[in-house]
A and B are shown apart, each in its own frame.
Chain A
Amino acid sequence: MIVLQDVEKTFSGRMKDTPALTKINLAVNDGEFVAIVGPSGCGKSTILNLVAGLTSPTAGTIGYKRLPVPRPNTDVGYMTQHDSLLPWRTARDNIALPLEIARRPKKERRIESERYLELVGLTGFGDHYPSELSGGMKQRVALARTLLYSPKTLLMDEPFGALDAQTRLVLQREFLAIWGQYRKTVLFVTHDLGEAIALADRVVVIGGRPGTIIADLEVPLARPRDVLEVQGTEAFVGLYRRVAELLGITWNRAKTDGASRVLNE
C-alpha cells in the first residue's frame, strides 16, 4: 500500500544542506497500524510529509497504491499535534470542512458533523470555538474531522503529544476502539515508546543523523487490546526495553553512562 524505497531527504539551507533521512526502506500493508519512533529531529515527521506528498524525496521513490505518490496525496488524512483546526470555525464547522470543500449540501454537513461529534464524545460542543475547548477536546475535533474525510490512510504526527497524561490515555483508548471499527492504514509518529507499542502492530525505530531505520519490530500483542492493560504484560515490557536500548537509553548501573552519552551528542 505504502512503499518507500531507498528514500533520502536533504533540506537545503542558506548555509549548508542538512541531510534528514537516508536509506529509508519501508512497506506498510493495507489496514496495518505502524508506529514510527525516534528522538526529536530524527526525521520522523518528514516521512509523513513525504507520504502526504507535501514534500518530495531528494532520492528514492515513494509508492502509494502501486503508483508514485501524488502531490498532494488527497487520499490521506493528516492529523498533527496542533494548529490544524481553523480557530474561526466552531467545532461543528471544523468537522464539516471536508464536506464543505466537496460542496455537500448544508443539511448533510449538519447531520454528519453531529454524528462525528458523537463518535468522539463531544455531543453538545458543536457550537464551541477551538479557543473555548481544552487541548484534549481540540484533538477530538481534529480526529472527528480526519475520520469524516474518510481517507484510506491516517497519518498522525504526535496527535496526543501535547496532552496531559490522563487525557492522552483516554484518547489513545478511544482512538484504538475507533480504529478497530474502521481498520484504516495508520502511520503514527511519536516519541513515546509506550504509546507506540500499546497502539501499533509494528514499531519502526528511527535513529542516527541523518535518520535511518535501525529496527522494524512486530508488536506481539493480541487485538483487541486495552492501552492500559497491555502495559503490564511481559511482551510489552520486553519490547519496550528493546526499543529503548536501540535508541541508546541504557539501564541500571550504566545510567550515568547513558546520560553522559546523551550530553555528548
Chain B
Amino acid sequence: MSEPVGTLTTLRAARPTGRRRGYSRRRAMGNVGAVLVGIVLVLTWQWASGRVLDELWVSKPTAIWTALVQLLTAGDLARHAPTTLYEATAGFVVGAVPGALLGLVLGRNQMLASIARPYLVGFYSTPRLALAPLFIIWFGIDAPMKIYFTATVVFFPVFLTAFTGAAEVPPQMLDTIRLMKAGRLFAYRHVILPSTMVWIIAGFRQSVPHAVTGAVVGELVASNRGLGFLLIQAAGQFNTAKLFAVLFVLIAIALVSYELLGVLEHRLLRWKKSGSGELDALG
C-alpha cells in the first residue's frame, strides 16, 4: 500500500532497518541539537531586542514570558482560549466528517466523481477568506460563523486524502472477498474503510493546524471573544509582548492536537506499527 504523503511526520527521516543502535544515537544527538538551536535563537532574540531591533516591533523573550504569566493569572486565557478551542474543534468535526465520507464515496464511484468534480474544483478555488463577510450575514458574528468558516478550511485536505485513499484500495483485496461471496456493504466496512483509514487520519493530522487557523481568522474578522480577539486587542495596544504570548499559545494548541491525533493514529492503525517480515528467518 502506498503511503499518504505530506504529513509533518515525514520530516523525521525514514527509519532504517538494522543498525538500530547507531540510528537511535544519531536521533538523540539530533534532539539535543534541536534544543541547542532553540536556546541560541532565544538568547539572540533577547540580546538583539533593544540593541539591533526596536523592542516595540519584536518584543523580547523575557517580556513575552511576563505577558504569558499575566494572561494566565489575570484569567484572560481561561476566558478566551476555550472559545477558540471550541470553534476549532467543532469546525474540525463539521468539516472533516463530511470530507472523509464524501471522499470515500467519490473515490469509489467514478461517475459520481465526474459529476462532482467541477463543483468541488470551483469550491476549492474560492478564496475561503472571502467567504467571511457572507458567513457573517448568514451566521452572525458569534461561534457558528467561525465553526462553518473553519469547516470550509478543514474540508478539503480531508476530502482529498480520503478520495485518493479510497481510489487506491488494492483491487486484488476486493476481488478476493468478492470471490468469497462478500457483498458491497461488507467490502465497504471491512476492506475499503480500513484501507482508506490510513489516508483519512493523515488528512486529519494535516487539517489540525488549519482548524486553529480557521477559528482565529474568523475571530480576526469579527469577534468579541477568543484568542483571535486577544490578538487584535494586543495589536491595538501595540503590545507586541502580549501578541507574541498569544501566538505561542496558538502554536501550543495546534501542536498538542496534532500529537493527540498521533495517539489516535497509533491506536487505530495498530496493525501497521510493527516492522514487516520480523519473522522472515523462521520461513
Known: A167-B283, A170-B283. A76 touches B179 (CB 8 A): yes
Chain B residues with Cβ under 8 A from A78's Cβ? Answer: 175-176, 179
A64 at the interface (CB under 8 A from B): no
Known: A131-B276, A167-B283. A74 touches B179 (CB 8 A): yes
Among B1, B172, B272, point to the contact of A80 (Cβ < 8 A): B172
Known: A83-B173, A137-B279, A170-B283. A101 touches B194 (CB 8 A): no
Q: How far is the CA of A166 from the CA of B280 in the complex (A)?
A: 12
B181 at the interface (CB under 8 A from A): yes
CB distance from A53 to the nearest CB of B (A): 8
A68 at the interface (CB under 8 A from B): no
Chain A residues with Cβ under 8 A from B282's Cβ? Answer: 134, 136-137
Q: How far is the CA of A83 from the CA of B1 in the complex (A)?
A: 9
A102 at the interface (CB under 8 A from B): yes
B170 at the interface (CB under 8 A from A): yes
The answer to whether A77 touches B283, judged by C-beta atoms less than 8 angstroms apart, is no
A97 at the interface (CB under 8 A from B): yes
B186 at the interface (CB under 8 A from A): yes
A179 at the interface (CB under 8 A from B): no
Q: Chain B binding site: helix, strand, loop or mixed by DSSP?
A: helix
Chain B residues with Cβ under 8 A from A164's Cβ? Answer: 283
Among A84, A101, A135, point to the contact of B277 (Cβ < 8 A): A135
Chain B, 151-203, CB within 8 A of any chain A CB: 170, 172-173, 175-182, 186, 190-191, 194-195, 197
Chain B residues with Cβ under 8 A from A131's Cβ? Answer: 271-276
Q: How far is the CA of A52 from the CA of B175 in the complex (A)?
A: 10
Residue among A88, A98, A133, A149 with the most chain B CB within 10 A?
Answer: A88
Known: A86-B191, A88-B194, A149-B180. A134 touches B175 (CB 8 A): no
Among B181, B274, B275, B279, point to the contact of A101 (Cβ < 8 A): B181
Among A84, A87, A166, point to the contact of B172 (Cβ < 8 A): A84
The answer to whether B277 touches A54, judged by C-beta atoms less than 8 angstroms apart, is no
CB distance from B270 to the nearest CB of A (A): 8
Known: A101-B181, A129-B271, A131-B271. A86 touches B173 (CB 8 A): yes
A132 at the interface (CB under 8 A from B): yes
B278 at the interface (CB under 8 A from A): yes
A180 at the interface (CB under 8 A from B): no
The answer to whether B175 touches A136, judged by C-beta atoms less than 8 angstroms apart, is no
The residue on B at minimum CB distance from A75 is B179
A123 at the interface (CB under 8 A from B): no
Chain A residues with Cβ under 8 A from B270's Cβ? Answer: 129
CB distance from A126 to the nearest CB of B (A): 14
Q: How far is the CA of A52 from the CA of B277 in the complex (A)?
A: 30
The residue on A at minimum CB distance from B281 is A134
Q: How far is the CA of A129 from the CA of B278 in the complex (A)?
A: 11
CB distance from B153 to the nearest CB of A (A): 30
Known: A80-B172, A86-B194, A88-B194. A101 touches B278 (CB 8 A): no
The answer to whether B272 touches A87, judged by C-beta atoms less than 8 angstroms apart, is yes
The answer to whether A87 touches B1, judged by C-beta atoms less than 8 angstroms apart, is yes
The answer to whether A87 touches B271, judged by C-beta atoms less than 8 angstroms apart, is yes
Chain B residues with Cβ under 8 A from A133's Cβ? Answer: 277, 279
The answer to whether A132 touches B176, judged by C-beta atoms less than 8 angstroms apart, is no
Chain A residues with Cβ under 8 A from B275's Cβ? Answer: 131
The answer to whether A72 touches B179, judged by C-beta atoms less than 8 angstroms apart, is yes
Chain A residues with Cβ under 8 A from B170's Cβ? Answer: 83
The residue on A at minimum CB distance from B170 is A83
Chain B, 185-237, CB within 8 A of any chain A CB: 186, 190-191, 194-195, 197
Q: How far is the CA of A97 from the CA of B195 in the complex (A)?
A: 16
Among A72, A77, A101, point to the contact of B175 (Cβ < 8 A): A72
Chain B residues with Cβ under 8 A from A100's Cβ? Answer: 190
B240-283 to A contact mask, C-beta < 8 Å, 1/0: 00000000000000000000000000000111111111111111
Chain B residues with Cβ under 8 A from A73's Cβ? Answer: 179
Chain A, 107-150, CB within 8 A of any chain B CB: 129-137, 149
A25-68 to B contact mask, C-beta < 8 Å, 1/0: 00000000000000000000000000010100000000000000
The answer to whether B272 touches A72, judged by C-beta atoms less than 8 angstroms apart, is no
CB distance from A195 to the nearest CB of B (A): 17
The answer to whether A102 touches B181, judged by C-beta atoms less than 8 angstroms apart, is yes
Q: How far is the CA of A98 from the CA of B280 in the complex (A)?
A: 27
The answer to whether B173 touches A134, judged by C-beta atoms less than 8 angstroms apart, is no
The answer to whether B283 touches A101, judged by C-beta atoms less than 8 angstroms apart, is no
Residue among B170, B177, B271 with the most chain A CB within 10 A?
Answer: B271
Among A87, A98, A149, A166, point to the contact of B283 (Cβ < 8 A): A166
13 A-B contact pairs sorted by A residue (CB < 8 Å): A52-B175, A72-B175, A80-B172, A87-B272, A88-B195, A101-B180, A129-B270, A131-B273, A134-B282, A134-B283, A136-B283, A164-B283, A170-B283
**7 extra A-B contacts, CB within 8 A, seeds A86-B173, A101-B182:** A54-B179, A83-B172, A88-B195, A131-B271, A132-B274, A134-B278, A135-B280
- By Cβ-Cβ distance, the 7 closest A-B pairs, closest first, are A129-B271, A167-B283, A134-B280, A88-B194, A134-B279, A84-B176, A88-B271
